[in-house]
Amino acid sequence: MTELAEFRADTRAWLAANCPPGARGPGPVSTGGNQVSITDRDTLVWLERMIEKGWTAPNWPKEYGGGGLTKEEFVILIDEMQRIRARPALAGFGTSMIGPTILEFGTEQQKRTHIPRITRAEVSWCQGYSEPGAGSDLASLSTRAEVRGDHFVINGQKTWTSGAQSADWMFILVRTDPDAPKHLGISFLLLPMDQPGVTVKPIRLISGHSPFNSTFFDDAIAAKEDLIGELNNGWTVGKRLLQHERSGMEALVMGGAGGSEEDGLPDEARRCLGEDGGRIADPTWRSTVATHEMNRHAFRLTQQRTVEESDGGTPGPATSIFKLYGSELQQQFYDLTTRMRGTRGFCDDTQTATGDERETIRRWLHFRAGTIYSGSNEIQRNIIAKRVLGLPD
C-alpha cells in the first residue's frame, strides 16, 4: 500500500468513527467566535474533534493549529468528506480569506497571534472593503487612517460588511496617504470590533434577511502591529485576499455534501414534473436539468483539478473564473427550481407556502446579487481577459 493509499484508508476510518450523523448533509457550520451560538450537539462535537485533529484548516501549518496536509492529502480529505456528505467543521472569512492572507503576508508574530485563534474557532471576522462611493472601483476608497503613536486612528464608513454585527475582528482597507495615486497610499489593517469607535447598522435586503451592514468608524483604533504588509502597500495584500475569496475553495471543501441544495435538483424535478420510468417525465426539462448537472460537476472537478495543480493553496487570477461561472451557476439553479414549481415557484404566502418553498424564493432573491458582490462579473471578465488570457487593453 502506498503512503497516499494508507492516508486515504486512515482518513476514511477516522471520519467514520468521528463524524457524527448530525454533521453529515445540510446543517449548521460554525463561523468562529461566540456571538453566534450553535446549539446542535453533533455540530459542536464535530467542531471539537476537527480542531483537535487540525482539520478545521487542513492544509495550514501544524505549528499554527492546522493539519499540515500536503496538496495530495488535502484533495483526498476533501474526497472522503464528500463521500460521506460531511460538512466542514468551520467556515467563514477566517478560514477562507484572512487566514490564508496572514499566512502569506503576515509577520511571525501576527501568525502566532491570529492563526491559532482562527483554527480553534475562537474568533469571527468580517471584511471592510466596499464603501458607498467605492464598490467595484475599490481603489477609490476614502476611509482614512492616521498614525498616532503606536496605533492608527480610523474614520469613515464601510458598507455591505457581511456579519459585522457578530464579528470580533475586521480586516479593512484604509487610505493612509491621501496624496498618493489611488492604488497607492492604501494600507491593510486588522481592527477589533468591540470598541466605542465602531458602529454597525444592518441593511435590510429584498430577501427579508439582513446579513449585510453599514459600519461607521469614529476615531476607531487599530494597533500598529496589526498592519499586514507594508504601510501604503495594502492594495497588493487586498487583491490577494480577493483571490482567496473568489477561489471557491470553501465551497469545494463543503462539496455537494456540505448542504448545497443543487444535489437534489433531479429529485426535485421528478417530484414537480412527474416521472417516466424513474426519469424526469418532460424531455425538455430532462435535457435542461441534465445539462445543469453536467456543468455543475464539471465546475467542481475544475476547482479540484486547480487545487491539485497548485501547491494545495489558492491559485492566482484564475480564481476570477470560479467567481464568474460559480455565481452564474447558482443563479441558474434557483431559476430552474422556481420555474419547475410553476405557480408555487414564487409563493411566499406564509399560510400556503411550505418552509422549503419560502426558503427557495429567499435564496432566489439572495443570489440575484451573486454576480455583483465579491467583485462584479463584469470586473471578473476584465481580470480574466488581462491576467489569464493576456489580451491587450
> What amino acid positions are annotated as catalytic residues?
245
Are 164 and 213 contacting, i.e. CB atoms less than 8 angstroms apart?
Answer: yes
Rg for the chain (alpha carbons), in Å? Answer: 22
CA distance 267 to 16: 27
Are 86 and 77 contacting, i.e. CB atoms less than 8 angstroms apart?
Answer: no
CA distance 82 to 188: 35
CA distance 169 to 37: 17
CA distance 83 to 161: 34
The DSSP H or E segment spanning 116 is helix 108-119
User: Residue 174: phi, psi to the nearest 5?
Assistant: -135, 155
CA distance 210 to 76: 37
Tally of CB atoms within 10 A around 63: 11
The DSSP H or E segment spanning 154 is strand 151-159
Q: Burial, 373: exposed, middle or buried (Cβ in 10 Å; 0-12, 13-18, 19+)?
A: middle
Return the C-alpha cell found at 69. 496536509
Number of H helices, E strands in the chain: 13, 10
Strand pairing category for 125-128 and 169-175: parallel
Q: Which residues contact residue 144 at a Cβ distance below 8 angstroms, ignoring those fewer than 6 apart?
A: 154, 155, 156, 174, 175, 176, 178
Q: What is the DSSP string of 267-306?
A: HHHHHHH-EETTEESSHHHHHHHHHHHHHHHHHHHHHHHH
Q: Quote the distance between the C-alpha of residue 227 and its chain's center.
A: 23
Tally of CB atoms within 10 A around 152: 24
CA distance 393 to 385: 9
Measuring CA to CA, which residue among 231, 130, 247 is closest to residue 188?
231
Return the C-alpha cell found at 51. 480542531
